[in-house]
Amino acid sequence: MLDINAASSVDFKQTKANQFVLPLNQVGMTDVALVGGKNASLGEMLQNLSSQGVQVPDGFATTAYAYRYFLSAAGLEAQLQPLFAGLDVEDVSQLQQVGKQARHLMLQTPFPEELQTAIATAYARLCEEYGTDTDVAIRSSATAEDLPDASFAGQQETYLNVQGVQAVLEACHKCFASIFTDRAISYRQTKGFAHLDIALSVGVQTMVRSDLAASGVMFSIDTETGFKDVALVTAAYGLGENVVQGAVNPDEFLVFKPTLKQGFRPLVKKRLGSKEIKMVYDVGGTKLTKNVSVQPRLRQRFAISDAEVLQLARWACLIEEHYSQRRGQYTPMDIEWAKDGVTGQLFIVQARPETVHSQKEMNLLRSYTLETTGEILTTGRSVGQGVGQGKARVILDARQIELFRPGEVLVTVRTDPDWEPIMKKASAIVTNQGGRTCHAAIIARELGIPAIVGCNDATSVLETGQEITVSCCEGEEGRIYAGLLPFKLTEIPLDHLPRPQTQVLMNVGNPEEAFRLAAIPNDGVGLARLEFIIANQIQVHPLALLHFDQVKDAIAQQKIEDLTHLYTHKPDYFVDQLAQGAGAIAAAFYPKPVIVRMSDFKSNEYANLLGGQFFEPQEENPMIGWRGASRYYDPRYAEGFALECKAMKKVRDEMGLTNVVLMIPFCRTPDEGRQVLAVMAEHGLVQGENGLQVYVMCELPSNVMLADEFSQVFDGFSIGSNDLTQLTLGLDRDSAQIAHLFDERNPAVKRLIRHAIATAKAHGRKIGICGQAPSDYPEFARFLVEQGIDSISLNPDSVLKTLLEIAATEAEVARHTDRPNPPA
């Protein structure tokens, strides 16, 4: 039994350990055992980050001493202890019964008078500063939460828009009782915590009126890949509970932290969420808050401005840096924020260590691959990079969770902590609602199971008992397939891999894959194709945006209107989307070089873009027609190329991603190269300025035979073995009839490549290869190394095997020449 000192905590000169209430600005991370991780973190930021501009709402916290005093004064320990003896949390019915009894015991026991007085006095002080019956947020904070390997987030209750001393006391009492919610009991027992060893603190903060503005969650790390150099910010209208619980699909933003800290504006991704509802004050109602519909016009715009996103990301950096220094190790953070609709100010309302990627083994590369695909039943946002499968179990109400069977796929509208007792038994989780920072996503990551959130129609499309495969290994779009599809898990230890002298680069086209691919050992990106971004993200011909009135197809016009609805000037859509796509790839591999090839669509491919048919000629053989460099200075396309230049200037100048090297494809003559460089300079991309390098594709016989002259124009070469083979052997590589003759290993092709490498090196220019051949043929990679090529750019799935081949070849070459042996 505790030695109880019933003195009121009004006298703040007492030691912290025997006070009932403490101001938040008087606690910090050394006080986790006293006020819990959540409140300790708020105090830590108030004390240490306020001077750097990070704003945290004022308030106070009840202490662990107050909680234990409450239990002890009423003799509750003796009544609670027997409830947990022999409890099997896997038995959902038993768990629910025990939780109900424990909460009833807590709620029917009144607070001691001393504790009521302490809370009332502290609330009165807030009211003196912020007004009569100040509205406050009341949140639970367990003394064991936010440990490095266990997140207690969401286990206990939160109450918003609480006004008046009596309401504050009632909410604090309910928070105390919520230490015995079913999910909290289950979580503690699973993690090995004794139920009565954990105490509960209650944080009382002045409300941020985000019901009149917006709120959200942000992570100082990419939640899906663990890539640590971006901050993920999510935002929706109204109070933040909807984002946390996954009741809305929020806006998402990615900000690149290294150049943000240098003063740039590296917003590398923006994704508009549906944001269909918002939580607001229930003025005059029977509840504290309520959900209302968001007006359609507001759904179709971002909830916060770019400037606010960048400000939040800066705060995420400051918070991460502070906690990393304090803990003596890199500590990514999970942060909740809110915007006050009255003052327009931003606030941080919670911050805790991220508990998934910070605990992962980083020297093991795991990748899942579907061996076949099938009928796609529905799609959403993928969480994790795995594959899960089993029979679907559609459950619409948490009161029916006892129906769930281990190994099934949980399908529901959304989850909250009440669902956690069964989530750990699921092979995968699928929800209608939610974004990458919702409850279902966070718990799925912690449990290490795949999840797809924000499907909209999962509960109506999928049926209980139906066999399904949940695939999160195909990019940001998660796919639910009919049936149990075969898949492969590959695990590759990254320790002790050789690092050859020849640079091993990657071909990366999809920005959504960039952060995941960056974990593969590499020296940068040898080819980032703008065509992929234009075709998949932009979808519109640039001239159709510049001359929208010339698009005479009503269906195409409507699709373009839909895609560009956020932009008053349609060409800005092209620039922003292209900059974000290329910027994401450049950020993923920063500061390593990322060679971005300017667009190399053929006229028939351009015509397939929305509106493209009105601006493209009909060509008999587009493969060797109006493509690459010849377009860039041609009056018929120069305006489109200007948009590409504007986007690349934004990446380098506004985002600060100067690791981007630009490359010109299909440049037939040195004079054509000079013309292109002159056009680029007119649009602010001046070769040599701000370190800008411009390479040329070496894919035409003329590039090889005049490599000495091209060396006077460009900074480097990248061999395109596909086109070089086509034009050397006189083959149309799109023709099936002569496909058997297409072979990059042909002696004529190899002789040209040998000559190109020798000439480039003789003139002090870098030369690499970005074609398919070294990915397909190990012997071709050996040939390139023997010629002394500077870099080989490979498809991601062939990097590791080719890396080993390159290292072995270098060792063999070193044994027969004076070239030094590469380090292991």
The per-residue pLDDT for range 170-202, each reduced to its tens digit, is 999 999 999 998 888 887 887 788 888 889 999
Instruction: Please give the angle made by the CA atoms of 112, 142 and 208, to the nearest 5 degrees.
Output: 90
In this structure, how many other beta carbons lie within 10 angstroms of the beta carbon of residue 617? 12
| Whole-number pLDDT of residue 818 | 60
By C-alpha distance, which of 209, 794, 766 is closest to 506?
794
Q: 């909460």: which residue's tokens?
A: 103
* C-alpha dihedral (340, 341, 342, 348), degrees to nearest 10: 0
What pLDDT shows up at residue 415? Answer: 87
pLDDT, one tens digit per residue, over 672-682 is 999 999 999 99
Residue 358 pLDDT:
60
pLDDT in tens, 77-105: 999 999 988 888 888 889 889 999 999 99
Among residues 111, 110, 87, 108, which one has the least CA distance to residue 99? 87
The catalytic position among 175, 667, 698, 770 is 770
Select from 231, 232, 800 the least CA-distant residue to 519.
800
Q: Which residues of the chain are under the pLDDT cut of 70?
A: 1-14, 144-155, 285-286, 357-363, 734, 817-824
Alpha helical stretches, state H, 633-686: 638-649, 670-682
E-assigned strands of 508-548? Answer: 525-529
DSSP 562: H
Residue 157 has what pLDDT?
A: 83
Alpha-carbon span 451 to 467, nearest angstrom:
16
Asked if residue 339 lies in contact with residue 345, where contact means CB atoms within 8 angstroms, the answer is yes
- Does residue 322 carry a catalytic annotation? no
Average pLDDT of every residue of the chain: 90
SS3 category, 217:
strand
Q: By 3-state DSSP, what share of the chain in percent is helix, strand and coil, each rounded to 5? A: 45, 20, 35
Among residues 158, 74, 162, the alpha carbon closest in space to that of 126 is found at 162
Q: Give the single-character DSSP code of 653.
A: I
Q: How far is CA 405 from CA 50, 444, 587, in A?
A: 49, 17, 43
Q: Checking phi first, is residue 327 left (phi over 0); if not, alpha (psi -120 to 50) or beta?
A: alpha
Instruction: Identify whether 438 is a catalytic site residue.
Output: no
Across the strands, what pairs with 142? 200
- In 3D, which of 374, 465, 447, 370 has the Cα closest to residue 411? 465
State the amino acid at position 319 in one-letter form: I
- 760 by Cβ neighbours in 10 Å (0-12 / 13-18 / 19+) ranks as buried
Q: What are the residues facing 645 on neighbouring strands?
A: none
pTM of the model: 0.86
CB 650 within 8 A of CB 579: yes
Which residue type is seen at 301?
Answer: R
* Segment holding 392, helix H or strand E: strand 387-394
Q: Is the dihedral of CA 583, 589, 592, 595 positive or negative?
A: negative
- Chain position carrying tokens 């494809």: 665
Taking the C-alpha atoms of residue 549 and residue 542, their distance in angstroms, rounded to an integer, is 13
Measure the CA–CA gap between 769 and 773, rounded to whole angstroms. Answer: 9
Half-sphere exposure of 373 (CA within 13 A, CB side): 11
Asked if residues 4 and 72 have their Cβ atoms less than 8 Å apart, the reply is yes
Concatenated DSSP letters of 449-461: --EEE--SSHHHH
**Residue type at 330 in one-letter notation:** Y
Helix axes 64-74 and 32-48, enclosed angle (nearest 10): 150
**CB distance 541 to 605 below 8 Å:** no
Residues 709 and 725: beta-carbon distance below 8 Å:
no
- Give the closest residue to 525 by CA, choosing from 515, 536, 539, 537: 515
- 517 in Cβ contact with 589 (< 8 Å): no
Instruction: Report the C-alpha gap between 442 and 146 in whole angstroms.
Output: 13
- Give the per-residue pLDDT at 398: 85
Return the pLDDT at 133: 94
User: What CA–CA distance (Å, rounded) separates 699 from 705?
Assistant: 11
The answer to whether the beta carbons of residues 761 and 779 sit under 8 Å apart is: no
- 499: how many CB neighbours lie within 10 A of its CB? 15
Tokens of 461: 């499309």
Task: Please pick, among 438, 439, 455, 645, the residue that the annotation labels catalytic.
Answer: 439
In this structure, are residues 218 and 312 in contact, taking their beta carbons and an 8 Å threshold? yes
Residue 537 phi, psi dihedral angles, 5° rounding: -100, -40
Signed CA dihedral, 786, 790, 794, 796: sign only: positive
Q: What would the two tokens of residue 102 be?
A: 């424990």
